Copies of this chain bind each other. A is one copy, B any other.
Amino acid sequence: MPKISDERRAQRREVILAAARACFERNGLHATKMDDIIRRSGLSAGAVYSYFGTKDELVLAALTSSMAELGIAFAPLFDPAKTLPPLEFVTELTATLRRFTKKDGVDRTRIAMHGWSEQQRNEGIRATMQAIYHGLRGQIQGVAERWRASGIISADAVDGDVASLIFSLVLGFVAQTAILGEVDPARHARALAELIAPKVDPRRP
């Protein structure tokens, strides 16, 4: 076959990546064998290896591509022009996550768990993933700054700490979903509100 078009090449790469993501999601990074991905992609071993030189490359690509898509999904929420107030922000964060998670029949929540695990022992994965997660927390910190600037939260609040707290909430939402099953974004946020506003005790007139 003569030179393949760039478009077609990108397409094929995506097919392989999709196969990899599906396999990784279902069976984890290590238990997934190259052969599983190869068979699911419908290509030959050689073809797959011409796009991704090693299994590790495929793992990294599957993990980062999933995260990249997440970044895009989150983008509107970080728009300085329309900063949401805390409770709505957290609600949108988790609701977006819930929607994003289901794409293409692959549950990215499960992939995330595999990524968090692999990150603990694989230098290359860790560096890349940390950069992405750091960026995400940074974006949240930006939002916190705006809250403080506009008096939505206390002037004494430490942006970094607020970002960290919200980030925990998001990561925890993902983890709890993966471990115990669906968590409702709306109820999650409402519970936060209830925890937040205890002063209104209905029993006290």
Contact = CB atoms under 8 A, between A and B. Distances in A.
A4 interface: no
Contact of A195 (B119, B162, B178, B198): B162
A201 B166 CA distance: 20
Contact of A196 (B121, B152, B197): B197
16 contacts: A30-B30, A86-B198, A110-B120, A113-B113, A113-B116, A113-B120, A134-B180, A151-B201, A156-B202, A157-B194, A157-B195, A161-B191, A162-B194, A167-B172, A172-B172, A196-B197
Contact of A118 (B28, B130, B191, B196): B28
A179 B130 CA distance: 7
Interface of A: 25-31, 86, 110, 113-114, 116-121, 129-130, 133-134, 137, 147, 151-158, 161-162, 164-176, 178-180, 183-184, 187-188, 190-192, 194-198, 200-204
B169 A168 contact: yes
A155 B173 CA distance: 24
Nearest to A163: B191
